[in-house]
């Protein structure tokens, strides 16, 4: 309560903005994930790894726009690419040059991509991949993991008694339950069009699929003619070719979003030639896939600049290692203080939970009390570190060693101050 009162007093302009916003947006919000109680700070400006809110506080940005902010804010190479592209006009109603290059770069990097198509979001990409799998197989159902998030209309959280955001009939599996899932696939093989999985569940708590589990899915999908789809919207950052390349398991299709558009609105789906060829409009049996902004000029230019000039394979490996080190340091800090801090995730996605029981399934994260999440989150904001209420962090290339050291010191200080209540 005291922390919350201090927060309210320190953020009068954000509070007023929230009140004004609530008059024309439900709860003052247009992105559910950006709300937290008592109200979120509103951001006025961002540069590299720094965010400044409308009350003038500065934060080191460890949220990294839920992975879309991989390049840091306003990276000069990307800003230049956008500025140059904008000079030539932003909507043509025709094909452009940069889409060719972005498609080429992605097909070169991601092992599962023979062919790729662009969309405007990760949500749309998953919808398109699922539609493709259903049309290709003539089957109706999709298998998803309990607690998975694949987009605004593809949300498989617990406790949703009426799935307004689950448009296809689903069979729910438990991530890393090799035998149980194998049996479920066998029992439902004749109706399963696709298996959709994030190789590391991001929003659901930073839970990595084991290599054995993914290998079982690969084998079962092939055996039963089911399309295996990896949602790499978040995990495509884990190497130059995503987690699929790092783990050496190639799905039939992959979906993308977030940083690959250089920070602009982005999505893509792609995969094997046999699945994607039907989107060739010259084919007599072509499937349609329109979308006014699919090849939008600014995204294509920003994406090309980012992949070709900034996020090199070496940069990808470095960022992965930075995340591994940070997670280890945070866990060590918790151990040192004897508090139930648990940092999960893979590579540059780090999720902090306040519980000593394992986080093996997304619903396990509910064992962290909401008050514990709120206390940590508000304290980190007050110490100048911007993370998500749920403890989610995604590193950007703009963060420095001293930013990492500062975050660890802030967590250390927090653990020391609140040890008795954690
Ligand atoms: N898939 C995963 C794994 C995601 O984390 C997200 C967004 O957070 C999406 C899909 C949806 O992407 P978008 O927000 O671009 O629609």
DSSP structure string for 319-353: HHHHHHHHHHHHHHHHHHHT--EEEEEETTEEEEE
Where in the sequence of the chain do the CATH 3.40.640.10 domains occur?
76-310
In three-state secondary structure terms, 142 is strand
Sheet hosting strand 341-346, strand order edge to edge? 341-346, 349-354, 392-394
Q: Which of 151, 150, 231, 133 is nearest to 191 (CA)?
A: 133
pLDDT at 163: 59
Which ligand 1 atom lies nearest to the CA of residue 203?
A: 5
DSSP 285: T
CA of 258 to the centre of ligand 1 (A): 7
Chain-centroid distance, C-alpha 66? 6
Distance from C-alpha of 106 to C-alpha of 86, rounded to nearest angstrom: 23
CA of 416 to the centre of ligand 1 (A): 35
| Series of mean pLDDT values for 10-residue runs along the chain (422 residues) | 95 98 97 96 98 98 98 98 96 95 98 98 98 97 95 78 73 97 98 98 97 98 98 98 98 98 98 97 94 97 98 98 98 97 98 97 94 97 98 98 98 95 88
CA of 125 to the centre of ligand 1 (A): 9
Beta bridge partners of 181: none
**99-102 — which CB contacts under 8 Å span 24+ positions?**
99/295, 99/300, 101/300, 101/304, 101/308, 102/300, 102/303, 102/304, 102/307
pLDDT at 162: 55
Evaluated on CA atoms 171, 158, 40, 355, the torsion sign reads negative
302-327 as b/e, with b when 16 or more CB fall inside 10 Å? bbbbbbeebbeeeebeebbebbeebb
Instruction: Cis check for the bond before 229: say yes or no (omega within 30 of 0).
Output: no
ipTM over 0.90: yes
Please say whether the beta carbons of 5 and 15 come within 8 A: no
Distance from C-alpha of 38 to C-alpha of 25, rounded to nearest angstrom: 16
User: Domain 76-310 has what CATH class?
Assistant: alpha beta
CA of 157 to the centre of ligand 1 (A): 14
State both tokens at 174. Answer: 């438990």
pLDDT at 166: 73
Question: Pocket around ligand 1: residues whose beta carbon is below 6 Å from it?
Answer: 66, 121-123, 126, 149-151, 198, 202-203, 231, 233-234, 257, 267
State both tokens at 225. Answer: 């003619």
Q: Whose CA is nearest to atom 12 of ligand 1?
A: 122
Chain-centroid distance, C-alpha 298? 21
CA of 151 to the centre of ligand 1 (A): 5
Phi (first) and psi of residue 339, to 5 degrees: -110, 155
Where in the sequence of the chain do the CATH 3.90.1150.10 domains occur?
2-70+313-421
Distance from C-alpha of 340 to C-alpha of 1, rounded to nearest angstrom: 21
48-80 as b/e, with b when 16 or more CB fall inside 10 Å? bbbbebbbebebbbbbbbbbbbbbbbebeebbe
CA of 348 to the centre of ligand 1 (A): 17
CA of 58 to the centre of ligand 1 (A): 27
What stretch of H or E contains 22? none
Distance from C-alpha of 271 to C-alpha of 215, rounded to nearest angstrom: 18
Please say whether the beta carbons of 149 and 157 come within 8 A: yes
pLDDT at 301: 98
Q: Whose CA is nearest to atom 2 of ligand 1?
A: 150
Of 33, 64, 234, 243, the residue with max ligand 1 atoms within 8 A of its CB, to mutate for a pocket test, comes to: 234
Of 119, 144, 148, 150, the residue with max ligand 1 atoms within 8 A of its CB, to mutate for a pocket test, comes to: 150
Q: Whose CA is nearest to atom 1 of ligand 1?
A: 150
Residue whose entry in the numeric block shows the structure tokens 């005291």: 2
Distance from C-alpha of 235 to C-alpha of 214, rounded to nearest angstrom: 14
Which ligand 1 atom lies nearest to the CA of residue 151?
A: 11
State both tokens at 110. Answer: 């991601």
Residue whose entry in the numeric block shows the structure tokens 């911007």: 386
Taking each helix axis from N to C end, the angle separating 370-382 and 401-418, rounded to the nearest 10 degrees, works out to 130
CA of 233 to the centre of ligand 1 (A): 6
Of 149, 229, 390, the residue with max ligand 1 atoms within 8 A of its CB, to mutate for a pocket test, comes to: 149
Residue whose entry in the numeric block shows the structure tokens 């006014």: 292
pLDDT at 158: 62
Which ligand 1 atom lies nearest to the CA of residue 267?
A: 15
Q: Whose CA is nearest to atom 13 of ligand 1?
A: 122
CA of 206 to the centre of ligand 1 (A): 14
Please say whether the beta carbons of 301 and 98 come within 8 A: yes
pLDDT at 391: 98
Distance from C-alpha of 117 to C-alpha of 99, rounded to nearest angstrom: 9
State both tokens at 24. Answer: 């024309």
Q: Whose CA is nearest to atom 5 of ligand 1?
A: 234
Which ligand 1 atom lies nearest to the CA of residue 258?
A: 15
By CB neighbour count within 10 A (0-12 exposed, 13-18 middle, 19+ buried), where does 348 fall? buried
CA of 370 to the centre of ligand 1 (A): 23
Structurally, at CATH architecture level, domain 2-70+313-421 sits in Alpha-Beta Complex (3.90)
């Amino acid at each position: 309560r005291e922390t919350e009162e201090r927060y309210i007093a320190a953020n009068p302009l954000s509070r007023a903005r929230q009140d004004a916003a609530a008059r024309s947006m439900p709860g003052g919000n247009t992105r559910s994930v950006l709300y937290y109680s008592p109200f979120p700070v509103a951001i006025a400006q961002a540069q590299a790894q720094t965010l400044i809110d409308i009350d003038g506080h500065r934060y080191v940005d460890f949220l990294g726009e839920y992975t879309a902010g991989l390049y840091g804010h306003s990276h000069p190479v990307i800003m230049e690419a956008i500025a140059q592209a904008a000079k030539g006009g932003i909507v043509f109603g025709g094909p452009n040059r940069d889409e060719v290059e972005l498609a080429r770069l992605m097909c070169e990097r991601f092992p599962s991509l023979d062919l790729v198509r662009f969309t405007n979001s990760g949500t749309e990409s998953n919808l398109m991949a699922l539609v493709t799998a259903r049309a290709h197989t003539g089957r109706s159902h999709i298998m998803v993991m309990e607690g998975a998030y694949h987009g605004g209309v593809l949300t498989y959280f617990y406790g949703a008694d009426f799935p307004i955001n689950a448009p296809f009939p689903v069979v729910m599996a438990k991530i890393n339950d090799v035998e149980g899932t194998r049996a479920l696939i066998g029992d439902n093989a004749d109706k399963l069009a696709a298996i959709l999985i994030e190789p590391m569940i991001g929003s659901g708590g930073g839970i990595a699929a084991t290599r054995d589990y993914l290998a079982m899915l690969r084998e079962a999908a092939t055996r039963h003619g089911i399309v295996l789809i990896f949602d790499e919207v978040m995990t495509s950052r884990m190497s130059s070719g995503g987690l699929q390349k790092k783990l050496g398991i190639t799905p039939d299709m992959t979906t993308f979003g977030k940083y690959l558009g250089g920070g602009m609105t982005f999505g893509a789906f792609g995969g094997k030639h046999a699945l994607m060829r039907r989107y060739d409009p010259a084919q007599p049996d072509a499937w349609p896939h329109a979308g006014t902004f699919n090849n939008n000029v600014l995204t294509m230019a920003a994406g090309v600049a980012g992949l070709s000039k900034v996020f090199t394979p070496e940069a990808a490996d470095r960022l992965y290692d930075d995340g591994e080190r940070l997670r280890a340091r945070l866990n060590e800090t918790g151990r040192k203080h004897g508090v139930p801090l648990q940092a999960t995730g893979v590579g540059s996605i780090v999720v902090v939970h306040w519980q000593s029981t394992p986080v093996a399934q997304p619903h396990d994260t509910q064992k962290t009390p909401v008050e514990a999440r709120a206390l940590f989150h508000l304290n980190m904001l007050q110490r100048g570190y911007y993370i998500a209420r749920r403890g989610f962090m995604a590193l950007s290339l703009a963060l420095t060693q001293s930013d990492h050291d500062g975050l660890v010191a802030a967590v250390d200080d927090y653990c020391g101050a609140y040890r008795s209540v954690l």
